[in-house]
Structure 1
Amino acid sequence: MKYFLMFLCLLLISCNQSSKENPGTSNLNSYELSLTEAKAFVHSIEEAHNKEDWDKEEIVSFDIQLLMGGEERLKARIYTFTNSSKIRVDKKDGSSLIFDGKRVFQSPAAAPVNGARFDMFTWQYFFAFPFKLSDKGTNWELKEKETMKDISFPKAKLTFDATTGDAPDDWYILYKEPKSNLLYAAAYIVTLNTKKEIAEEEPHAIVYHDYELFKNIPIATRWTFHHWNDTEGIGEQIGEAKIENIEFPTLKRNFFEAPDDSREIELN
């Protein structure tokens, strides 16, 4: 009886200590616990990327050279508010795309419109991705880890509320580097001008490489694009982007206003 009472006391002490080390978890059901773990996944990436300092900056700009299938798809300088509220894309051909916070314009008005909506938002979003994970309207689900090259990568799926952004039917599956917590890759679909079911037949992935510090903020300076599927994961490379001349400039407010020689691009 004496030994049983000693065992009971030790058990109670252990349970109490566990409760102190993990406050608030004892009363969570499995769904709530999964949600909490997903939020921890997001927070760890934001912390690794120093989102706190990113949010202190107003504007960031960078050069992008995008190659797809060995051919240059885009060469431009992109300017964006760090909260993505306004964006400007100055292409090497002299044309520009401007998002003033509500509408998208193209200048000059006679410039070809092909791919304007895609170029306006996609590359800026991929660049700012690690800092947008807890934006309003984002929903998270923790996924099973995936092993690549003997490394086990934590994963989570990002979906959006129906009224969020330009393409709320898009989804992403994020891979996190297990040691640094930096964003390693993201599988994604593009529902622009197509149905979600069709887009899901051909998902792709972006992998982030060559992180460098800019004002103590880690930013990937090379991206690679790949085929992807839920069974085999990240597959053959199909494209690449180089990111250079990253700066946090001070610009006049009218820099993100449409010039006289421009026309509005419909988003829908």
Structure 2
Amino acid sequence: MKKIVAILVFTTLLISCKPSEKKVDIYKNYPENIANVLKNHGGLANWKKLQVLSFNKGEEAHTVDLRSRKTVVNTPNYSLGFDGKEVWLSQQDSTAFKGNKDFYYNLYFYFYTMPFVLADDGITYEETTPLTFNGVNYPGYKISYASNKGTSPDDNYFMYYNPETFQMEWLGYTVTYFSKQPSNKFNIIRYNDWNDVNGFLLPKSITWYKKGEDGQPTEPAKPATEFTLPLVSQAKLADSFYKKPVTE
């Protein structure tokens, strides 16, 4: 992580404040309340100026090229990434990584870059039933993808926001990567708190919740997942950064 910070600091000036949006109607293809959420979290035009995002989840240091979605996840025992063509894995022994590299390499990127990742091309927005928790109703939108987008186009997301502040509060999502079939079974995450990272609200921690028979969240299913060392930059890292390390 220190290496990444050094590279970015010496190759660009980090965004020091929230710049004003251009007067171009960048939100014309989004529902008004989706646009309001994006504006509240730092603004879509400002987000599109960025080249690189990095954050830590425990011992994992995630670095992503926001334009190409090339990715590197470094840990003490293994690294994995996407070089633009294929997902790779490098590890000291065969037991260091115990997941599916193709599924995992960008999993937390999606969770971490909410709500901006919900402004990708090929998305359809549809108002959905509000989520209710502790007597508060959170309006929401169902987000679905065009059939030719990504490795799991049948995935659906449900984004819920505070109606007064337009801050994102909850995320529902389905997983179809393994079955390749549409699913009505969804998981739900509470976005507990946020970091102001150079004018962008990025999650400080998220918590998976259990659901009641009515599908509404009831209590945490496990401890919160925390994110640290957030960094956004207009610098572009060399393509070689995202290549699989050469081992002797």
Q: TM-score range by the shorter chain?
A: 0.7 to 0.9
Distance 1:261 1:227 in 2: 43
User: Relative to 1, partners in 2 of residues 1:254 and 1:132: Cα closer, same or farther, differing over 3 Å?
Assistant: same
Tell me how far apart the structure 1 counterparts of residues 85 and 175 of structure 2 sit (CA, whole Å): 22
Equivalent residue for 1:88? Answer: 72
Paired with 1:169 and 1:41, the residues of 2 have a C-alpha distance of 24
Structure 2, unpaired ranges of 5+: 1-27
CA gap 1:113/1:102 in 2 versus in 1, 3 angstroms: farther
CA distance, structure 1, for counterparts of residue 112 and residue 33 of structure 2: 19
Alignment of 1:224-243 (within 5 A): 224-228=207-211, 231-239=214-222, 240-243=224-227
1:86–1:101 contact (8 Å) kept in structure 2: yes
Helix, strand or coil at the partner of 1:56: coil
Please name the residue that 1:188 is paired with: 173
Whether the 8 Å CA contact 1:82–1:128 is kept in 2: the answer is no
Check whether the contact 2:132–2:216 (CA below 8 A) recurs between aligned residues. Answer: no
Amino acid in structure 2 at the alignment position of 1:209: N
Residue 37 of structure 1 contacts residue 142 of structure 1 at CA under 8 Å; is this kept in 2?
Answer: no
Residue 61 (structure 2) aligned to one of 77, 93, 108: 77
CA shift at 1:37, angstroms?
10
Q: CA deviation at 1:153?
A: 1.0
Given that residues 187 and 228 in structure 1 are in contact (C-alpha distance below 8 angstroms), is that contact kept between their aligned partners in structure 2? no
Q: 2:32 aligns with which of 30, 40, 51?
A: 40
Question: In terms of Rg, which structure is larger?
Answer: 1
Choose from 194, 200, 203 the match for 2:184. Answer: 200
Gaps of 5+ in 1: 1-35, 66-74, 263-268
RMSD value, Cα: 2.5
Equivalent of residue 256 in structure 1, options 238, 242, 246: 242
State which drifts further: 229-238 or 157-166. Answer: 229-238
Query: What is the CA–CA distance in structure 2 between the aligned matches of 1:145 and 1:235, rounded to whole Å?
Result: 15
CA pair 127-92 structure 1, distance change in 2 beyond 3 A: same
Distance 1:148 1:235, change over 3 A: closer
**Equivalent of 2:163 in 178, 185, 197:** 178
Aligned to 2:73, the other structure's residue is in SS state: strand
TM-score scaled by length of structure 1: 0.72
Q: CA deviation at 1:64?
A: 0.5
Post-superposition offset of 1:230: 8.0
What SS does structure 2 have at the residue aligned with 1:133? Answer: helix
Alignment of 1:1-268 (within 5 A): 39-50=31-42, 51-65=44-58, 75-83=59-67, 85-93=69-77, 95-108=78-91, 111=94, 112=97, 114-196=99-181, 199-201=183-185, 203-228=186-211, 231-239=214-222, 240-248=224-232, 250=235, 251-261=237-247
- Structure 2 length-normalised TM: 0.77
